[in-house]
Amino acid sequence: MAKKVYIRSFGCQMNEYDSAKMADVLAEAFGTESTDRPEDADIILFNTCSVRENAQERVFHHLGRVRHLKELNPDLVIGVGGCVASQEGATIVKRAAYVDVVFGPQTLHRLPQLIALRRASGTSQVDVSFPSIEKFDHFPHARTEAGSAFVSIMEGCSKFCSFCIVPFTRGEEVSRPIEDVLAEAAGLAAQGVKEITLLGQNVNAYAGRFADPAAPDQADLAFLIETLAELPGIERIRYTTSHPREMTQRLIDVYERVPKLVSHLHLPVQSGADRVLAAMKRGYTALEYKSIVRRLREVRPDLSLSSDFIVGFPGESDADFEATLRLIDELGFCDSYSFLYSPRPGTRAAELSDDTPAEVKEERLARLQQKIEARDLSSRRELIGKVERVLVEGHAKKDPAELAGRTGSNRTVNFAGPANLVGEFADVRISAAMPHTLRGEWLDKRPL
């Protein structure tokens, strides 16, 4: 019987992408299959995240909950990967000796070797080095039956925003060569993938080398998107996450030329107050951010915008917070990831003094979230009666008899339709707006 691997992701989309690749490399090396029950697993992996509070403690809590499984099955392999592993390294094994392997975001492709070494040597293995981006050369060819797929185009981050741990856990920005990215995308398109999401911590900092010496020095994201749009079969292109500092005019112009690039952008702003943005070391002002959105909407009037916000950054005053609310009113974000600031050990902001009481911060966060939710609901209500083209991703979460599709503007629509629409485009008329989703009616009722 095939060995089973249980992988739990705690982090961002890159972390989830890495988890999928861990499953792929183990399947290729050991013929493992995935399970969602840790008690059935021969290998248990936690792919950790350290972006917010108590990340380290949470990892040990989850490890503690699977420890007894090792007593039942001494051959069980327990591994910790991801950003906490990258930071803590061997400390994890010191504190939890039953952990067999510790690996980082850049060494996950070495998992089979680490597990084999652990078995041969009898000692726990730790490898949290940063061997550039060699990992991509070791992943098996992506196999998928889905209509949409992620393609990672770069690793790491060199921005060092004062609050953020990511540059320490994932290393500096490195882009994959452009031919590799295009070959992977073409391979996915040949398997029926219609939508590609380009993935990276700062995708618009992409600077991919060409293998051909006669080619220009480097390709930027604008060039990559235009080239991808030419690939037969690719109908939609998304990218995430991007940084306002690298939202170049070249990239903005692509919105005018390439209709396959969706009318949705996730562009984290973090705050609407220049004082706070400067203390965060974000490298732009609120006015510069607004200018980017204005220029984008000039060429794409229907662009929907989502963002990340940090509330309660050290020294954020009432007036600063009001400036963030004003920015939200002005630009109309349809969705947000908003969290209270959490000091990350080792970052510059962790040394800043902060005298805003916790209740004030929580009240600010609640106000910001209410504002964005209200705006989101009203913008989704405006869609009622309109026809939207969705890419059908699978069955609806709440009612598996229904299908769930995603619009170009990144909204989920649930509707009744046949299962063989999964992976295909469908036209649906929007009939209702629920708190987080839309309902629709499939317009093509012909049997497929």
- Contacts with ligand F3S by CB under 6 A lie at 11-12, 14-15, 49-51, 82-83, 165-166, 169-170
**Taking Cα atoms as reference points, which of 48, 29, 37 lies closest to residue 4?**
37
DSSP, residue by residue, 191-212: TT--EEEEE-TTGGG--EEPSS
Q: What 3-state DSSP class applies to 370?
A: helix
Pick the closer one to ligand SAM by CB: 339 or 425: 339
Given 110, 135, 243, 406, the residue binding ligand SF4 (CB under 6 A):
243
Q: How far is the CB of 374 from ligand F3S (least distance, A)?
A: 27
How far is 164 from 173, CA to CA, in rounded Å? Answer: 15
Verify binding: residue 177, ligand SF4, rule CB under 6 A: no
Which residues here bind ligand SAM, judged by CB under 6 A? 12, 51-52, 157, 163-164, 166, 201-202, 241, 243, 268, 270, 308, 310, 339, 341-342, 344
State the binding partner of 52 from ligand SAM, ligand F3S, ligand SF4, none, CB within 5 to 8 A by kind.
Answer: ligand SAM
What whole-number distance in Å separates Cα of residue 181 and Cα of residue 260?
Answer: 18
For residue 344, how far is the Cα from the chain centroid?
20
Q: How far is the CB of 83 from ligand F3S (least distance, A)?
A: 3
Query: Min. distance of Cβ 282 from ligand SAM in angstroms?
Result: 8
Q: Comparing C-alpha atoms, which of 375, 365, 377 is closest to residue 337? A: 365
Q: Does 202 sit near ligand SF4 (CB under 6 A)?
A: yes
Region of 126 on the Ramachandran plot (φ > 0 left; ψ -120 to 50 alpha; else beta): beta
The piece of 119-127, 130-138, 158-166, 425-433 that touches ligand SF4 (CB under 6 A) is 158-166
CB of 164 to ligand SF4, least distance (A): 3
Taking the least distance from each CB to ligand SF4, the nearer of 123 and 158 is 158
Q: Min. distance of Cβ 119 from ligand SF4 in angstroms?
A: 36
Q: In whole angstroms, give the CA distance from residue 193 to residue 262.
A: 16
Phi/psi at 203 (nearest 5 deg)? -60, -30
* Span interacting with ligand SF4, options 62-70, 140-148, 155-163, 177-185, rule CB under 6 A: 155-163
Residues whose CB falls within 8 Å of the CB of residue 415, separated by 6 or more in sequence, listed in order: 402, 403, 405, 426, 428, 439, 440, 441, 442
* Residue 201 engages ligand SF4 in binding (rule: CB under 6 A): yes
d(CA 52, CA 103): 20
Window of 120-128, 156-164, 355-363, 417-425 that interacts with ligand SF4 by CB under 6 A: 156-164
Give the one entry of ligand F3S, ligand SF4, ligand SAM, none that residue 160 binds, where binding means its C-beta sits below a cut-off of 5 to 8 angstroms depending on kind.
ligand SF4
Residue 138, Cβ density class (10 Å: 0-12 exposed, 13-18 middle, ≥19 buried): middle
Which parts of this chain interact with ligand SF4 (CB under 6 A)? 157, 159-161, 164, 166-167, 201-202, 243
